[in-house]
Amino acid sequence: MEIAKAITKHVLEDKVQKLEGVDLDSIYLRVILNSLCNAKCYFCHEEGQSVISDLPAEILRQAAIDSSELGIKRIKYTGGEPLLRKDLADLTAMIKSVDPEIEISMTTNGIGIERKIDQLVDAGLDRINVSLHSVDRENYKRIFRVDALDKVLRGLDYAKDSGLKAIKINATVSRYNLHEIFEIAKYSQQMGFEFRIHYLLPSNEEAAQTIVPRSELNRYLKDHSDRLETIERHGKETTRYHQGELTVDVKKGNFAGKCKRCDYLSRCNEGIYALRLTPEGKLRPCLYLDSLEMNFANAIKEGNSKEVMKEAYRRVIK
């Protein structure tokens, strides 16, 4: 629990109340590297971004320095699509030069994995999360709005032997793919990948109309399972559904503390306790609450980036 101790020492000096039920080890820096994407997922919330831009390397470097000094040793690339950054390997090597102990992961649609994964692993990329909401070509096109399933599967087959510490498959559940959950889980298990279910955010009308409530998801999984059990996984109470040798894990809601009382709770469904760094150099403790945002790029110019980073993390966990 060294990270938790570091946060307690440096960030919680003013005795801010920690979120009930949230493991401080789960707090990380979620870096939105760009806004461009080569898929067009109908439900994409674009990490709350509307401006098309790339995050400058110098801002990312300072963010890595300041976060590391606060005890945060996890950085996750998101987008857009991170693989569209031509300097992605250089950025990764830069972060590792700041602190070799920083674990770098990436959420990607996987379309460019086969071409880029070797150089990224060589630069220091540790893990990837691949969004795979369907293993059926036609349904994949319906969700991603591009015909790229074969390319993604080839890339994943190549990446499994690339030296990554872990590959996780993320499936966002909707009306379009509820019937495929066990098929995606089967593919993941056969490949040796961890499988994770994500909940849909109502980012637009079509997304709102295709949301599957947690209760309905649990009922569907129960009806299609041989048995279920309650386990603890990563510190969270989790229901594990068994279908033969297949298993599908569903965590209970990750909302705690102030998030339970938030006016946006019914729209959020996220449960991610991360600090986002936007392409414009803004720090966002919450996807929805603009009032919590802080200008990290300006703080760098003014020489007080460490104080701003510290306050931004405080806003995540208070």
For residue 37, the tally of other CB atoms under 10 A from its CB is 20
State the CATH architecture for 2-317.
Alpha-Beta Barrel (3.20)
Could you tell me which residue, 254 or 161, shows the higher pLDDT? 161
Label residue 282 by pLDDT band (50, 70, 90): very high
Q: Is the pLDDT of residue 173 over 70?
A: yes
Label residue 192 by pLDDT band (50, 70, 90): very high
Q: Is the pLDDT of residue 5 over 50?
A: no
Q: What is the pTM of this model?
A: 0.86
Q: What pLDDT score was predicted for residue 20?
A: 46
The answer to whether 171 and 221 have CB atoms below 8 angstroms apart is no
Label residue 4 by pLDDT band (50, 70, 90): very low
Could you tell me which residue, 200 or 114, shows the higher pLDDT? 114
- Average the pLDDT over 250-275 and give the result: 59
Give the closest residue to 276 by CA, choosing from 22, 43, 3, 79. Answer: 79
The full set of domain ranges for the chain reads 2-317
CA-CA distances (angstroms) from residue 313 to 69, 234, 241, 279?
12, 21, 35, 18
- Average the pLDDT over 213-219 and give the result: 93
> Residue 129: what residue type?
N
- Average the pLDDT over 102-129 and give the result: 98
